[in-house]
Structure 1
């Protein structure tokens, strides 16, 4: 892979596709090449507004066929970079060879039809690979290292396709398959299967996360957050606005979640976690679409809106179905052919869910990425629009308009915000703070901590870290960090240290001693792009002189007697009051403990302070890397 250096190219579309070595990802790449290589005089089919893809409120606005003509053409200078983001370099190179071979063949066919090829197109075209292990947030090839490489090597991103996904499939319940065929029909049974056998409780390679949840939910969320600044830097002169496109599934329904979905947010107790993970991914995308397009933050190009859209691509025969299908290659190939034939029969019978071929299933993804904003509902209207594939019997695949299943009900339950908030818990519980990935995880934690606003009721397995909004009830306190502050510092809470136990432990902040006060600056979390840990300004610069700790009560449901919170640090601990412990101001309130988070017997925050000889801020320092 050549060493790329970021250079400003106002005419270059940069598309990043996760899981691009096969299946839908490879289909997305084929469609990008097919559409963007058209001469500037030829409109692109993928940008043609389709009546079936318009929301009901826009159906009446289409009065003439001219309204449905392709709305975008590629200017003569436009060229393309496709970034294939996947784990295996060998498979990526194989995919790159396939893309080049097929694209050159398509261009030759165009020439035979008398359609000119865009001048300089092949010379400017780039198809490259960037390695990423979506099962791991940290580490050399983890998600965070991957996003840092992308930031270093490319000037911007125009389209981010979050396509990679996985299921912990181990086989098929043939009796269940036969039963669903007769009860629901063939097209439903082969598009919304209830007979797949999945491995319950499957965990990531390091044993720290739910495997399916980590790949289908956590990974795309982190990538979208990390690469948002690059999306906003996409040149305004390009014919397409920056977009994030998430590949969902027809199995992503609210019914796949249990009665308390945020309790087991890693889906470890689910017999079938794939559909549940995709629905959680949909919820996360709703939240991101709202945050990335918040009118209060869109002041200039640096904060321009970036739409986040979900796609249901239907069913195509890919190697996704190879998992658990057999130990012999010939048996896998036989069953793959059976899947392909079954899907083709479903399409002939009129099923709209079976486009059969990956490049046809990718059409809704290209549509979502290239269609003008005038044909989309704003996030304030419907943040849950979902473009769906509409297969035709003879192969003329269309794009349909849909919405995420029961999204209003899920929104009322707080699922979009709640799912996003759980990512913070994932970075500070279950041992994620330790091991080979330790420092990367701490950096991620520092960013995620800034997105917490209103914690929901605590889950069964781990308590939710109370945030500043509920922990500090005294008047005059700063507001909590906004939900869209992934790349902005949290509010200045350094003056709280004059009355907190942290002022007596390792100095008055991240720098320790008086360094934090004298520098009067933020301490940057190393390798955290535009992310900050804790603001440390000069205490003397504020009018705050300290408040009694009685007014800082994390849990109003557990009243304390007067003076119980103001025990001197050297006083013997009796067990009737919470311990003095260091805390991260954006996450934990003063003196947070299991008692303050609902009486949980196991303290999920203990790793932050269990070693009294360890500076709680050392995770952000260079010497520990």
Structure 2
């Protein structure tokens, strides 16, 4: 019997996070003992997620569940959860940093129509018609999107290095939309003033990966993978769509897939292909699979058949930018920890 595997999935209560859990259950043999730790913001969602996963695989005997309540918008919450996991587990095999989001304000429907008519594949892959609010900061006084998509993930994974060391894998979840990010602006590293903070945060996450992947591999024997789920239907933009516009969006997803887009996997389970592949199937010793120099994307053909696409990453320029971001995050984390120790913050 193989040793027990432990997987931590942030944002596991729906969409891609839940799909990652399901795909893990399908890919890891039933003879392998497995613990899935779900991270949600609220107890009710954690319980509901665990119950759904139990129903998903009722025949699996060597399976257990755990949960932590995590709010990425509070570094106090991040440190508290890290402490809980360090106390509970001697080793964590897979850390899926899936939770995150954006401060979306709606859709520019006129702009969306023009984009779709001009180039439907590009419009549905790199949409420039999504409107985002500018200037939101967290309770820690840090750019909110920067914190929930980059800083909190970095702090959590670094705190967990002692139990990840010796072969653990950290899975960053990026986005194909990072391809249209603005050039890096050191003066707005926290993405407070940009009008596309979500997209820019996913690009900055790629820089962070470039800066730490080789270092953590050499020093801790921890593999850090950069992945993205292609384009799939999740609830991240649900507040700005109704049944009709949701139908229209899904219809266009299928259209552009038939027109040749490899990224419109549509289904979240197919979107989970790349993150789960990186966690349990990627062989870093092979030429095509070094954790520090490849970005795995979930892709599919016109018929919806899944496959993994690789993109070279980790250039020297990306590493330099990543080093700048990591240095800033170390300062922000240290300042936040000092405030927490002084009792000056609250979850």
Question: TM-score w.r.t. structure 2 length?
Answer: 0.91
Residue 280 of structure 1 is matched in structure 2 by 204
Residue 396 of structure 1: how far off its partner (Å): 1.1
State the Cα distance separating 1:145 from its structure 2 match.
Answer: 0.2
Which among 148, 169, 175 is matched to residue 249 of structure 1?
A: 175
Cα-to-partner distance string for 1:475-500 (whole Å, 9 max, x where unaligned): xxxxxxxxxxxxxxxxxxxxxxxxxx
Segments of 5+ residues of structure 2 without an aligned counterpart are: none
1:10 Cα offset (Å): 6.7
In structure 2, the residue matched to 1:89 is: 43
Q: 1:349 to 1:99 in 2, by over 3 A?
A: farther
Mapped pair 1:133 → 2:71? yes
After superposition, the Cα gap between the structure-2 partners of 1:386 and 1:256, relative to the gap in structure 1 and judged at 3 Å, is same
Report deviation, 1:257: 3.3
User: 2:210, 2:315 within 8 Å by CA — same for their partners in 1?
Assistant: no
Aligned to 2:226, what secondary structure does the other structure show?
strand
Measured after TM superposition, the shift of residue 136 of structure 1 is 0.6
Query: 1:187, 1:353 within 8 Å by CA — same for their partners in 2?
Result: no
**Alpha-carbon offset, residue 292 of structure 1:** 0.8
Unaligned runs of 5+ in 1: 1-8, 39-75, 108-121, 234-240, 298-302, 443-625
Instruction: Tell me, in whole angstroms, the C-alpha distance in 2 between the residues paired with 1:148 and 1:222.
Output: 12
Counterpart secondary structure, 1:339: helix
Instruction: Tell me which residue corresponds to 1:306.
Output: 222
Distance 2:263 2:334 in 1: 40
Residue of structure 1 equivalent to 2:321: 415
Paired with 1:420 and 1:261, the residues of 2 have a C-alpha distance of 14
Distance 1:207 1:81 in 2: 32
Partner of 2:13: 21
Query: Which residue in the other structure is 1:484 paired with?
Result: none
Provide closer, same or farther for how the CA distance between residues 96 and 400 of structure 1 changes in structure 2, counting only shifts above 3 A.
Answer: same
Q: 1:215: which partner in 2?
A: 148
Distance 2:344 2:147 in 1: 14
Partner of 1:364: helix, strand, or coil? helix
Separation in 2, partners of 1:364, 1:11:
24
For each residue in 1:127-165, what CA deviation from the matched residue of structure 2 results, as whole angstroms up to 9, or x when unmatched?
A: 222111111111xxx000001001111221001111112
Structure 1 length as normaliser, TM-score? 0.52
Query: Is residue 269 from structure 1 mapped to residue 193 from structure 2 by the alignment?
Result: yes
| Residues 539-567 of structure 1 deviation map (CA, whole Å, 9 limit, x = unaligned) | xxxxxxxxxxxxxxxxxxxxxxxxxxxxx
Aligned counterpart, 2:296:
387
Give 3-state SS (helix, strand or coil) of 2:285's partner: helix
Instruction: State the match for 1:79 in structure 2.
Output: 33
Q: What is the correspondence of 1:446-465 to structure 2 with a 5 Å cutoff?
A: none
CA contact (8 A) 1:282 1:310 kept: yes
State the 1:92 CA deviation. 2.2
Distance 1:281 1:242 in 2: 19
Q: Are residues 378 and 124 of structure 1, via their aligned partners in 2, closer, same or farther at CA, if it must alter by over 3 Å?
A: closer
Q: What is the deviation of 1:180?
A: 1.5
On the 8 A contact 1:159/1:242 being kept in 2, the answer is yes
**Distance across 2 between alignment mates of 1:441 and 1:34:** 45
Contact 2:149–2:201 (8 Å) recurs in 1: yes
Of 306, 326, 332, which aligns to 1:426? 332
Residue matched to 2:81: 146
From the two aligned structures, give the one with the greater strand fraction. Answer: 2
Residue 123 of structure 1: SS of its match in structure 2?
coil
Q: Note the 1:498-517 alignment, pairs <5 A.
A: none
Instruction: Deviation per CA, 1:20-68: give whole Å up to 9, x if none.
Output: 1111111110111011135xxxxxxxxxxxxxxxxxxxxxxxxxxxxxx
2:284 is the alignment partner of 1:373: yes
1:100 pairs with 54, 78, 81, which one? 54
How much has 1:355 moved relative to structure 2? 0.7
Shift of 1:424: 2.9
Structure 2 distance, partners of 1:34, 1:349, is 31
Larger radius of gyration: 1
Contact 1:13–1:80 under 8 Å retained in 2: yes
Structure ranking higher on relative contact order (CA contacts 8 Å, 6+ apart):
2
Separation in structure 1 between the aligned mates of residue 343 and residue 230 of structure 2, nearest angstrom: 36
Change (3 A) 1:441 1:282: farther
- Cα distance in 1 between the residues matched to 2:267 and 2:128: 23
Alignment root-mean-square deviation, CA: 2.4
